[in-house]
Structure 1
Amino acid sequence: MSNPTALPDLSDAQLLRYSRHILLEEFGIAGQQRLLAAHAVVVGAGGLGSPVALYLAAAGVGRISLVDHDAVDGTNLQRQIAHTQERIGWPKVESAALAMRAINPELRIDTWAQRAEPALLDQLLSSADVLLDCSDNFATRHTLNRASVRHRVPLVSGAAIRFDGQLAVYDPRQPASPCYACVFPEAQAPEETRCATLGVLAPLVGLVGSMQAAEALKLLSGMGSNLVGRLLLLDALRSDFQPLQLARDPACPVCGAAAGRQRAA
C-alpha cells in the first residue's frame, strides 16, 4: 500500500455500503480500509477496462486513475458496458468516470485522455498500488510491464479476442515472479489481432475484466494473488479454463539480473 500505516476509519455509511466485503473473514474491516486507502491505475477503458473500472469503484478503491486515448464508438457498445448510446463521441475515460461516479460518488477518479506513455506512467505509478492492463495491443503491454518493473507495482494483465481470453498477475515485489516480457518477449511480437477484424464474444471481456478486478482487489486488500507465476487461459466457446505455470527468465531484458544492475546504476 502507498501508506499502510494511515488506514482511514470507516463511517457508519461505509460500514453499511461495504458490509458484504466486511463479512468475509479473509477481508474484514481492515481489508476494506486498505481498499479505501489504495490507488489503482487502469490503462484501457474499453471491453476489459469497463468491468474493471466499475467493480473497482463499486468495491471502494479510494483512488482510481483511468488512462485511454480513445473515444466511444457505436461498435463499442456491444461489449463495453461502461458506455452508453448517449455518450458516443465522448472520451472513454470521461464516459467511464461518469458511470463510476454514479455507482460510488465518494471516490477520487482521475482521467487521462491520452496514451499510456512512460512519462505519464512514471507519474502515476509513483503513488500506485496496482496497475491493470486493459489495453489491446502488444506495444502498450510492454510499456506497462516496464513501468511495473521499474516502480515495483504489481501488474494485472488481461486479454480477450474471439472466444479466447487470458489472465495473469506479474508481481515484481516477488523474486520468483516473471514479468510480462519473460512470457511474451518483445522481440517475438505476434501479429496484432483486433476485435474489429476477428470479433469478440461480448461476455468474454466481462469475464476476463471481472477476474482482473478480483485479482486487484485481493492484492489491495492484503489477500495476495495465487495467479502470480501462472497464466490462466480461457476458452469461452468450450467453457474451459486452463492454468499454465510460468517461470522467470534470468536473462529477461526487463526484469533479469543484467536489467536490474542497469536500473541500479
Structure 2
Amino acid sequence: GSPLGMTQQVLADRIEWLSDEHEVEIPLDKDKADILVTVSSIEMMKYPDSIVAMAKIFNHAGENWTISTKGYEATNFGVLSGKSDVAKIMIERLTSAAEAVGARTLVIPECGHAYGAMRWSGANILGRELPFEVIHITEYLAKAKREGKLRTKPMAGSMTYHDPCQVSRRGGATQAARDILDGFATDFREMKPTGNYNWCCGGGGGVQAMASAADLRHEVFKIKIAQVEETGADNLVSACANCRLTMDESRKSLGWDHEIQSLVEVIADHLEA
C-alpha cells in the first residue's frame, strides 16, 4: 500500500515525532473534518519537514483538517504500474477515509503522480462520482490566499519555479503556483521554456525508481541546470517530492550546489504571525 513501507504504525509514530519535535499540532484520525490531507511516503520518509509545513499552513488558515490512518498514502503505484486492481484499492482507501470524516475536500500533497491518479482518474477507476473535491496542495494555497486565509511575508531574493509535469502539463494546475508566488516572491524569474512546456526533472514516467536509469536522469537534469542558471535565480522551488528527490540525487552526482526547495516549506517559513 505504500512504496516506502509506511505502515499505519509508522505513520502514527512519525506524526507523533514531528508534532513533538516541531511543536505543531498534526491531527490524526479526527472523527470529523472538512479537509482530509493525504501524504506521500517520499515526503514522510525523505522530506518530513514538508509534512510539518502543511500542518503549519492548515493551522494558520484555521482549517478543520485531519490525516487518517485509514487512507493516507497519496502515491498510487497501481496507476503507475498499470495494475488496475491495486489502483482501485488505493482509490477506495482514500475515498472511504474522506467519506468517514465527512470531508468536503481531499488535498493531495506535493506529489505530481498522486494528483493525476486521484484527481483525474479516481472517479473513473472507482466507477462513481467522488463526493468531495480533490485538489493539489498548490491549488489549496492559491484558494486560501484568495480567501484571505493565507497571510505571508514576502520572500527576499530571486526565485524560479520548476513545474512538475504531472501537476502542470498533464494535471492542468499550472497557474496555481504562480498565483501563490505573485506578491510573495519579490523577484520571480520564469524559466525558458516554462509552465506547460517546462523541462522534466529527469525522473518522470517511473524513471526515478529505476536504478539502471541513473545516467539517463543525470543527463536530462543537465538541461534543467542550464535552464535554472539562465534565470540567475538564487532559489529553485518546486511542488513535487518526486521531482525534488530526482533533482537532489542528480545535483549531488553532478556537483551542482543549488538546493531544490519545497514550495509548501517556503510558504510555511514566511507565514505571518
TM-score (norm 1): 0.34
TM-score (norm 2): 0.33
Q: Which has the higher strand share?
A: 1
